[in-house]
Amino acid sequence: MNHAKTFILLAALAALFVGIGYLIGGVTGMVIALVLAAALNLFSYWNADKIVMRMYRAQPVDEHHPNAVVRAYVADVLAMAEAAGLPRPVVAIIPNDQPNAFATGRNPENAAVCATSGLLDLLTRDEVRGVMAHELAHVKNRDTLTMTVTATVAGAISALANFALFFGGDRERPGGLIGTLALMLLAPLAAGLVQMAISRAREYEADRVGADIAGDPHALASALQKIEAHARRIHNPVAERNPASGQLFIINPLAGKGADSLFSTHPATGNRVKALMALASSMGARPRRAEVFAAPASGTTVPATPTRAPARGPWG
């Protein structure tokens, strides 16, 4: 279902590009805009792992790390990657208190998966496995490539909108000046909406495949609830300075909403949890005694309270 949705949305984005491109710039304008957008996105795609890891000061770790929790984290990621038929990824930790994680890299052979220090401190080992399985699913599904293609076409549409006044005379274009201005405003908006819809579809698919890789949809569902409750209260300054990188994370590091929003790159966490519960039921997985975390009221600093006694240490 999610693959079909992605294909349909990509086709819609391509049709939007062709239609708007022809109206604004004709064949010449379409080619110029596509080449410019492709060049910029190809550079980002080819160097994605290096750019993003440097931006967030991600520190690669291995099985010999002095911290036992980090060693277990690395071992679990590598074991799941092998079980999923993936090459060994770079495993890294981001020094940030906000619980979150992301995957990057142009292909499975050049992939990196990163978890924040806040994620390892907050979640149980099973929950961390669920989150990292989601990130490995992005690698397996080649979502970096999908989103690069999406960004290229969306960028080309935005470029066409910016070039609108420079291709042909207003009288030669349908709608004249008013039509041109409308296209300049509406074309990038429409492209952005489709791009965000594709991103949400890829998140749902990564949840599904990740739950299969980890073998525990309940763990990922529990992790998403915890991350959502805590991420809203912890500032991520790097993501705030680079909001375009927010779509990489498993939970939006900038802001959250109560329902799937047309202007959001991530589905609502509640909807993702419902889908994972349905998947667990279809897999015959037994319900686990989940830790329920509720998002605190705005301005409060009271931590969410687990339903069970706290364990000693992050994975005690």
Token pair, residue 282, equals 């279809």
Token pair, residue 230, equals 């805590």
**What strands, in cross-sheet order, belong to the sheet with 59-60?**
59-60, 90-94, 112-116, 101-104
DSSP readout, 57-119?
A: T-EE--TT-SSHHHHHHHHHHHHHHHHTTPPPPEEEEE--SS--EEEE-SSGGG-EEEEEHHH
Marked catalytic residue, from 82, 127, 135, 203:
135
Whole-angstrom distance, CA of residue 226 vs CA of residue 206? 18
Token pair, residue 196, equals 């965000």
Which stretches does DSSP call E strand in the chain? 59-60, 90-94, 101-104, 112-116
Give yes or no: 135 in active site: yes
Q: Which residues pair with 103 in a beta bridge?
A: 113
DSSP three-state, residue 249: strand
List the one residue out of 163, 153, 162, 202 whose CA is nearest residue 41.
153
Which of the residues are catalytic?
135
